Amino acid sequence: MQRILKMIRKEFIQIRRDRGLLRMVAISPLVQLLIYGYVVATDIRALPMVVMDRSASSESQRLVDRFVASGYFKLQGYAASLSGVEEHLNSGQSMMALVIPEDYARDIRRGVVAKVQLLVDGTNSNTATIALGYAGGVIGAENAARLEQNLQRKGIREIEAGIREEPRVWFNPSLRAINYMVPGIVCVLLMEMMVPLTAFSLVRERERGTIEQLMVTPLRGGEVLIGKAVPYILIGLVDAVIILTAGTVWFGVPLPTNMLTLFVCTLLFIVVTLSLGILVATFVGTQQQAALSAQFVLVPNILLSGFMFPIESMPAGMQWFTTILPMRYFLVIVRGIMMKGLGLFDLMDQILPLAALGVLIFSISWLRFRKVFG
């Protein structure tokens, strides 16, 4: 016990001397919270659009107004010709063009199908898909209004048959994006800090040759490991607290009611990420290699865990692959605790696989640690 404490103290002294590191530990969560909070957690609105109105009628004006009034599109200007439209799309000034043909108003008045053209910049396929969806909604609404008008004019009473939905939104009734983002940022940040930091602190001893010195001391392998781990566990917890506090104070995200469950699960996840860091450290000889190979762990976890992109939309093979990513389970756990108020037992189907994965990763990294560092 005495020896472990000494080891922890040594590690703390090293961390304290590294001003740059302390700065990052404090700043990184805040910067990430701001960027993710304001960039990822925003709905797509006010997409820049250009109109080429060759009909120039009250009918065409009504359609344009409906596009603007929807709030999904922002009118950047009118183009007189197709080359003007092309210029807008090429320069990226607009991402969608609405082209209304000459006979639009005539067709509408005669009750013939009137066609309009939507030219969409597909370079960002994601935004393009969303824009098409919005445009479809706007045109659908205009259609419904026209139909009702036409029917009324012909003296036909509309039939009220059909289905009306009554939506009930649970857990996040106002559909605030930031409420969903903050739990995710806790996961990302822990992953981003813990894996490389642990790997670096172990590899550093080897790179500088100080590991031999540690090995000739009466410290046993396990004691070295615990001594190394404790300071980083604390750093992880501090960062989690920073994010939760800033998320509450700045973005008004409701605090979780079940703090103890959150604490226990966070601790479990930190241990898993530490084990991953140890595992990485056993495969590399220099800190530079550690920096690179940590990316091989981080990138799949961040991209495929459901942090930004839902897992169920992925191809089947990738969905299967996600089951070995620890972050996938922890994300569901943190969101479950913070947004749904779930308790330890509700979350067992996530906690158990995470713990099992943790035991597996830890065992492998412990075996390798003994072989490589022992």
User: Comparing C-alpha atoms, which of 189, 207, 211 is closest to residue 270?
Assistant: 189
Window of 155-163, 217-225, 247-255, 365-373 that interacts with other proteins by CB under 8 A: 155-163
Cα(137)–Cα(70) distance, rounded to whole angstroms? 9
Of residues 105 through 144, those in contact with other proteins by CB under 8 A are 108, 111-129, 132-133, 135-137, 139-140, 142-143
Min dist. Cβ of residue 358 to other proteins (A): 21
Of residues 300 through 319, those in contact with other proteins by CB under 8 A are 300, 303-304, 309-310, 312-315, 317-318
228 contributes a contact to other proteins by CB under 8 A? no
Of residues 57 through 86, those in contact with other proteins by CB under 8 A are 63
In the three-class reduction of DSSP (H, G, I as helix; E, B as strand; rest coil), residue 96 is classed as strand
Whole-angstrom distance between the N-terminal and C-terminal Cα of the chain? 20
Min dist. Cβ of residue 374 to other proteins (A): 21
Name which of 18 and 222 has its Cβ closer to other proteins.
18
Is there a contact between 335 and 184 (Cβ–Cβ < 8 Å)? yes
Of residues 282 through 301, those in contact with other proteins by CB under 8 A are 283-289, 291-293, 295-296, 299-300
Cα(102)–Cα(1) distance, rounded to whole angstroms? 86
7 contributes a contact to other proteins by CB under 8 A? no
Name which of 292 and 359 has its Cβ closer to other proteins.
292
Min dist. Cβ of residue 322 to other proteins (A): 9
Q: Which residues contact 42 (CB under 8 A, 6 or more apart)?
A: 177
Min dist. Cβ of residue 152 to other proteins (A): 12
Cα(179)–Cα(172) distance, rounded to whole angstroms? 8
Q: Say how many C-beta atoms besides its own lie within 10 A of residue 52's C-beta.
A: 20
Is there a contact between 302 and 188 (Cβ–Cβ < 8 Å)? yes
21 contributes a contact to other proteins by CB under 8 A? yes
User: Comparing C-alpha atoms, which of 283, 304, 302, 305 is closest to residue 293?
Assistant: 283
- Number of chain positions touching other proteins (CB under 8 A): 125
